A = this chain, B = another copy of it.
Amino acid sequence: MSLARFLDLADLSPEEIRDLLALADRLQQHPEPQALAGKILGLIFLNPSLRTLASMQAGMARLGGSSFVITPGHGTWALETRTGVAMDGAAAEHVREGLPVLASYCDVMGIRAFAEGHDLANDVADTHFKSMAALIKKPLINLESAINHPCQALADWKTLDDLHIAPRTKFVLSWVPHPRALPLAVPAATAHMAALRGHEVVVLRPDGFALPDAVIDRARAAARLSGGSITETDDRDSALKGAHVVYAKEWGSTRHYGDAEADASLRRSLTNWQLTEQTFAQATPHCKLMHCLPVRRNVAIAESLLDGPRSVVLQEAHNRLVVQMAILYRLLK
């Protein structure tokens, strides 16, 4: 099996995903420090990064390759992404030139481009990322787009495997507080991943934060493949009861998408959605706490939970490196 691009976990069959995870395990057990010697990874960060930047560069280096990083706005001018406009503003270069040029310097490219957060339909359709991806004729990795984060989803799948958490168990994707509206990429990717792994997925979120129909429909299609299920609720007690995994995540109000004021007003009343020892006590005794990081301590999740034995957030983050090495290997070998 070889991959042309890694843009969405849904592009892979369950067998292909398992094969990729097996490759990740193999590379962990039997490193291949020269596998990608001479190969170059180009990383384009239209938004900030810590884990993704470091793990992509480290992963490429551990396989013998090299990388360069372009961060528009930090040492590079801003890139225009709209089509048909007269470029008389701040952006000095259009992605239609910038991205193919950068792609011509490397063997594989990764792009991070968060949701614009104005138009829900556009963001759910991933219009922006897809238009950029269409410009690139090289192997490409989605490093988080408006509605997807497949590297995170694959790392989380591996973490669940590593922890021997059986499919068909209850996986609660729980909305948690944050000072402002965050994108839907991780909740959408997580719901899909957990459904595809066969979990009984419960999306727990306050009124006004329902995931978009298209996101739920995609997860439901994945659940049909795997024998899992997906439901949504705002009832915290029933959702957490019997949970084997609580995956905490912050996201913006979908009812007030793009309306920062209405979103803020709604979330002001929801600070008690912070995950605490008490709320977590309703889950199963060995329930794991997952989060993609970065996380705001004592806002989204209580410090004691994050520092406690049920938290697996560091394992998840480490698995970003492990699975991305497998992705790079599959794309380039």
Footprint of B on A, CB under 8 Å?
Answer: 31, 33, 37-38, 40, 42, 45, 48-51, 53-55, 57-59, 61-62, 64, 66, 68-72, 74-77, 80, 83-88, 92-94, 96-98, 100-102, 104-106, 179, 293-299, 303, 306-307, 313-314, 317-318, 321
Contacts and interface: CB of A to CB of B under 8 A. Distances in A.
Contacts of A98: 50, 294
Given A38-B62, A40-B62, A104-B321, A75 B48 contact: yes
Contact of A293 (B55, B57, B101): B101
A329 to B, nearest CB: 15
B105 A58 contact: yes
A45 B75 contact: yes
A307 B96 contact: yes
A33 to B, nearest CB: 4
Nearest to A295: B97
Number of copies: 3
A76 B104 contact: no
A269 to B, nearest CB: 15
A96 B59 CA distance: 22
A48 B71 CA distance: 11
29 contacts: A42-B58, A49-B76, A50-B102, A51-B101, A51-B102, A53-B68, A53-B75, A54-B106, A61-B66, A61-B68, A84-B298, A84-B303, A85-B297, A85-B298, A86-B299, A87-B298, A87-B299, A88-B296, A88-B299, A93-B294, A94-B294, A96-B297, A96-B306, A96-B307, A97-B294, A97-B313, A98-B294, A101-B317, A104-B314
